[in-house]
Amino acid sequence: MSKLQVFLENALREKSKQNSSHLGDRSQYVGASDIAGCSRKAVLNKLNPEDHDPMTLLRFARGHAAEDLIDGIFRAGGLTPQREVEVRHPDFPEILCHIDFLFRSNASGRLHVMELKTVNGIPDAPYESWVNQLHVQMGLLELHNPGLPIGGSILAVDLNAGVWKEFNSFTPNKILFNAMVIKGRHILSCLDAPEAAQIEPGILCGYCNHRETCPAFAGETPLPQEVQNLAARYLEKSRTRGELDKAIKNLKNEILAFTGTSFKGQSDTLQVCASEVGPSETVDARRLKEAYPEIYDEVKKERAGYTRLDIFRIRKQAAA
């Protein structure tokens, strides 16, 4: 590793500390993002804080950069939201949140919470953990502002693609908020008994540093709804790809019926060329290994493995 890389990694760690300094000691409280995700992960992260690698720290830095960018855009347009507003539960002060952007209408007094998420690819719908986090924020805000209208939204930003999408029209839900408060208190209680923490498999399990020891992945794992949705879309796209390949082959045959095997032509917008590709030779690896094993061992080349993904529809059996 070069001296510059070493310097950048050390500086990145320091920058990450500065960016999150307003959050304080997260082992001493339960935040909205803790409550929104897996309780087991929240507990273990507080008991054994993760030492993030440079790649993860860069993702965090990207999120902070996006916040500054969006804030600058708001202010260029004449809006002046409050940032990183801390709100604590009046009865359980260890339960709190930090609101990314808080807007207040001078005319009506209406409060609007906006949570910012940086992503690689905008999802069709907001993830459940995003929605739960927003409801914790709106619920805590409502406790301190009874009677005021409160709304919320989630702004997903893909900086690489240069696109964003707002998921809007959220309002406080007392039933959901109370359930989130109970979950927050459960996380607090499990700091003394981590083995009792509830396990909640979800779409973000792939980013959890406690996955290898998680009982949820010890055997057959129930699929979270968000993963089910992704798997169903994958299956549908795979089926469509097969149909598309067949359609492309049929179109090719129809065009070749006109062009023959040697053709070059064009219109104002297209050029079509057809030509013969001569026969070629290949080596039958199985026959080579059987007939000349010593030569096979000398010329064989390792091929990297890959992760295979199989998704099938489960056909329900008719009731007897």
pLDDT tens digits, one per residue of 124-172: 899 999 999 999 999 999 999 999 999 999 999 999 999 999 999 999 9
Would 102 be classed as within a structural domain? yes
Would 287 be classed as within a structural domain? no
Phi-psi region of 231 (alpha: psi -120 to 50; beta: other; left: phi over 0): alpha
Degrees (nearest 5) of the Cα angle 115, 44, 179?
50
Strands 150-158 and 111-118: parallel
Would 317 be classed as within a structural domain? no
Contact criterion met (CB below 8 Å) for 147 and 107: no
Would 267 be classed as within a structural domain? no
What tens digit of pLDDT does each residue of 251-304 get? 999 999 999 999 999 999 999 999 999 999 888 889 989 999 998 888 888 888
What does the buried/exposed string (b/e) look like for 76-106 if buried means 16 or more CB atoms within 10 Å of the residue's CB? eeeeebebebebebeeeeebbbbbbbbbeee
Would 149 be classed as within a structural domain? yes
Contact criterion met (CB below 8 Å) for 66 and 118: yes
Would 36 be classed as within a structural domain? yes
C-alpha closest to that of 113 among 60, 178, 166, 37: 166
Distance of CA 189 to the CA centre of its chain: 28
DSSP string of 257-275? HHH-SSEEEE-SS-EEEE-
Distance of CA 4 to the CA centre of its chain: 31
Domain range enclosing 86: 25-202
Which CATH number belongs to the domain containing residue 192 in this structure? 3.90.320.10
- Spatial neighbors of 49 by CB under 8 A, at least 6 apart, are 26, 27
- Report the range of poorest mean pLDDT among 99-113, 150-164, 171-185, 230-244: 230-244
Contact criterion met (CB below 8 Å) for 87 and 179: no
Q: What is the pTM of this model?
A: 0.79
Would 227 be classed as within a structural domain? no
Number of domains observed in the structure of the chain: 1
CA–CA separation, 45 vs 52, rounded Å? 11
Would 50 be classed as within a structural domain? yes
pLDDT confidence band for 319 (50 / 70 / 90): low
CB atoms within 10 A of CB 296: 16
